[in-house]
Amino acid sequence: MSAARWEARADLVVVGTGVAGLTAALRARELGLRVLVVTKAAGGDGNTRWAQGGVAVVLPGEHDEGDTVDAHVADTLVAGAGLCDEAAVAAIVSGGPAAVTRLRERGAVFDPAPGGKLARTREGGHSAFRVVHAGGDATGAEVERALLAAAGDDRVPVLEDHVAVDAVRTPLGAVCGLLVLDSAGVPGVVTAPAVLLASGGLGQLYQATSNPEVATGDGLALAMRAGAHAADVEFVQFHPTVLYTGRGARGRCPLVTEAVRGEGAVLLDALGQRVMRGVHPLEDLAPRDVVAAAITRHAATAPGGVDDHVFLDATGIGDFARRFPTVLAACLAAGIDPASRPIPVAPAAHFACGGVVADVDGRTAVTGLYAAGEVARTGLHGANRLASNSLLEGLVVGTRAADAVAADLALGLLARASGHAELPTAPVADRDSLQRVMSRYAAIGRDAEGLAVVGSVLDLSTTDRVLDSRERVEDAALTLAARALIAAAAERTETRGCHVRTDHAGRDDARWSRSQVVRLTPSGQPVLADPALARDAA
Ligand code: SIN
């Protein structure tokens, strides 16, 4: 007997109300599809609104200094440390100008420069000033505001406090709906031939993260249970600079945008020595993986007796309050005035470079299942995402995914069917233990022994549970994501991008210039798939 006690119907159900999900829903509406959006929290509670730096994009007429889409592509490939899919990078980066233009038509307001063009900043790994921003350092908040307002204007139905649990599938495995817990915890089904996952990342795998509490890897777990593959999951990007508020920070830590370094701030240790000098030709504007790893190594030597953070000297930035109001407010709340003293900062988990294997149109290998934004692994990021390419990806792939759903429906490729839906049972680990061991052994700097410890702790703290609440769904997702990550991280015996192996320093191109694909066994364990699949994904 089905567990579902209510039913809704749509052509497309979108999971998530961040940049990718809302962009897709708005586009689907334009295309005449019946679209329904579900989110487990309130509409604006996702990760998008916390994005600070901006959107990396080369806009026609805005870049007089010779910046080009090709240069943006080249910077993305360098940051990705040999694992980007070049065709995906070219498609997404070249789709940026149209996507940002459409976003502005939908009401997003970007900061102007004197003279009327858009202001642009620079972040780590960019060879030019090409990052457009809003509200100084509140770009994500403006993008989210504009998209939520547009969704309201276009009457896109958004079900808040509704938790996506599992895909509903036909006997042949095609997705034909979504099992959802409503705001009272009652299970129901949204019957739909297309489900788009735009549910964000998994920063909550770690004790300290720039991500909000909703970032628990739910979409990754749902997709894998539905038979989709994941790739590049070992590459979790740590942002080099979140505000350090004391030893043992927990949960979401305020971001100190990389654009602060783009405007001239430098990293210092407690003795006033430059952290990035001699580490990389771009020094403080090296790609993010390089800076985060350098801070970690440098702090471990405890200069001046300080071993868990460094300092960002922004005292030379004259108009800090106007340019970085969000960072300023967080600093002042912590009793720090960036105008008069360096900001204490430390790395924290920030972005999943890997995820559900999908093409640039959001299609996964499972009929009817699509993925866009941080949950997806399109090949744009490779082993390390270039700064401010994430909002860009959400805008471009969100649009393309809605177009793909419309095209697949028109061709009759999707399953219009009702399916049987039972609340699934899945392994669930204790969240606190999981976050503790992931932070200790699977963050920046991993080795075989530590990764094995994570596995043992998960074994000891895991029990099978029915996924009948938001907490259970999240904990099951974190458990699956942690298992997938440590399986891939243990196998990759090299250091590349965000994956730093202390027992295998250096990049091994002969062996490891490829992605790893993870799939679920019938008993629900993530295992590495045949490397031939990895070649197809890469
Ligand atoms: C930042 O502003 O430093 C973060 C932006 C991003 O993750 O791309």
Encode pLDDT of 12-67 as tens digits.
999 999 999 999 999 999 999 999 999 999 999 999 999 999 999 999 887 667 89
Classify residue 253: in a domain, yes or no: yes
Sequence letter at residue 101: T
292 pLDDT above the threshold of 90: yes
Average pLDDT value over all residues in the chain: 95
Angle subtended at Cα 91 by Cα 56 and Cα 512, rounded to the nearest 5 degrees: 90
**E strand or H helix at 241:** strand 236-243
Distance CA 386, CA 388 (A): 6
In the chain, the number of structural domains is 2
- Inter-residue contact 27 to 372 (CB < 8 Å): no
Q: Which residue's entry shows tokens 């509704």? A: 162
Last residue of one domain, picked from the residues 347, 362, 379: 347
Residue 241 Cβ < 6 Å to ligand 1:
no
HSE at residue 19, side-chain half, CA atoms within 13 A, is 31
Instruction: Give me the helices (H) in 159-310, please.
Output: 218-225, 259-262, 288-300
- Inter-residue contact 200 to 375 (CB < 8 Å): yes
Tell me the catalytic residues.
288
Residue 242 Cβ < 6 Å to ligand 1:
no
Q: What is the number of the ligand 1 atom nearest to the C-alpha of 385?
A: 8
What pLDDT is stored for residue 64 in this prediction? Answer: 62
From 120, 130, 239, 391, give the residue whose CB has the most ligand 1 atoms within 8 Å, as the site to mutate: 239
Q: Which residues contact 122 (CB under 8 A, 6 or more apart)?
A: 128, 129, 130, 131, 259, 262, 285
Classify residue 162: in a domain, yes or no: no
* 427 and 343 share one domain: no
Classify residue 300: in a domain, yes or no: yes
What pLDDT is stored for residue 533 in this prediction? Answer: 59
* 337 and 434 share one domain: no
Q: Edge-to-edge, what's the strand order for the sheet holding 55-56?
A: 55-56, 131-132, 120-121
Classify residue 221: in a domain, yes or no: no
Q: Which residues contact 492 (CB under 8 A, 6 or more apart)?
A: 234, 499, 501, 512, 516
> What are 133-176's pLDDT values in tens digits?
999 999 999 999 999 999 999 999 999 999 999 999 999 999 99
Distance CA 180, CA 220 (A): 16
> What are 338-381's pLDDT values in tens digits?
999 999 999 999 999 999 999 999 999 999 999 999 999 999 99
Q: How far are the Cα atoms of 27, 109, 207, 278 from residue 398, in angstroms, in the given order?
A: 8, 20, 30, 40
Coil, helix or strand for 438? helix
- Inter-residue contact 18 to 215 (CB < 8 Å): no
- Domain CATH code at residue 428: 1.20.58.100
- Inter-residue contact 316 to 265 (CB < 8 Å): yes
What pLDDT is stored for residue 289 in this prediction? Answer: 92
- Domain CATH code at residue 321: 3.90.700.10
Q: Which residue's entry shows tokens 């993305």? A: 76
What pLDDT is stored for residue 63 in this prediction? Answer: 63
Instruction: Give me the helices (H) in 324-427, please.
Output: 325-333, 389-410
For residues 118-129, average pLDDT: 94
Q: What is the number of the ligand 1 atom nearest to the C-alpha of 288?
A: 3
Residue 138 Cβ < 6 Å to ligand 1:
no
- Count CB neighbours of 348 within 10 A: 27
Residue 53 Cβ < 6 Å to ligand 1:
yes
Last residue of one domain, picked from the residues 347, 380, 406: 347
- Count CB neighbours of 491 within 10 A: 13
The residue range of the domain holding 518 is: 422-531
How many angstroms does the Cα of residue 242 sit away from the middle of ligand 1?
Answer: 11
Classify residue 163: in a domain, yes or no: no
- Count CB neighbours of 227 within 10 A: 18
- Count CB neighbours of 23 within 10 A: 32
Residue 55 Cβ < 6 Å to ligand 1:
no
How many angstroms does the Cα of residue 285 sit away from the middle of ligand 1?
Answer: 13
User: Token digits for 302?
Assistant: 């405890």
Number of H helices, E strands in the chain: 16, 25
* CA trace torsion 50, 251, 438, 42 (10° rounding): -60
From 47, 50, 52, give the residue whose CB has the most ligand 1 atoms within 8 Å, as the site to mutate: 52
Q: For ligand 1, atom 2, name the residue with the nearest CA.
A: 53
> What are 214-234's pLDDT values in tens digits?
999 999 999 999 999 999 999
Distance CA 16, CA 44 (A): 10
Chain CA centroid to CA 411, Å: 31
How many angstroms does the Cα of residue 241 sit away from the middle of ligand 1?
Answer: 10
How many angstroms does the Cα of residue 54 sit away from the middle of ligand 1?
Answer: 7
Classify residue 177: in a domain, yes or no: no
How many angstroms does the Cα of residue 356 sit away from the middle of ligand 1?
Answer: 22
Classify residue 431: in a domain, yes or no: yes
Residue 257 Cβ < 6 Å to ligand 1:
yes
What pLDDT is stored for residue 538 in this prediction? Answer: 45
Last residue of one domain, picked from the residues 347, 377, 400: 347
Residue 390 Cβ < 6 Å to ligand 1:
yes
From 142, 253, 258, give the residue whose CB has the most ligand 1 atoms within 8 Å, as the site to mutate: 258
From 57, 252, 388, give the residue whose CB has the most ligand 1 atoms within 8 Å, as the site to mutate: 388
2 pLDDT above the threshold of 80: no
- Inter-residue contact 180 to 37 (CB < 8 Å): no
> What are 481-491's pLDDT values in tens digits?
999 999 999 99
Q: What is the number of the ligand 1 atom nearest to the C-alpha of 256?
A: 3
Classify residue 380: in a domain, yes or no: no
Residue 203 Cβ < 6 Å to ligand 1:
no
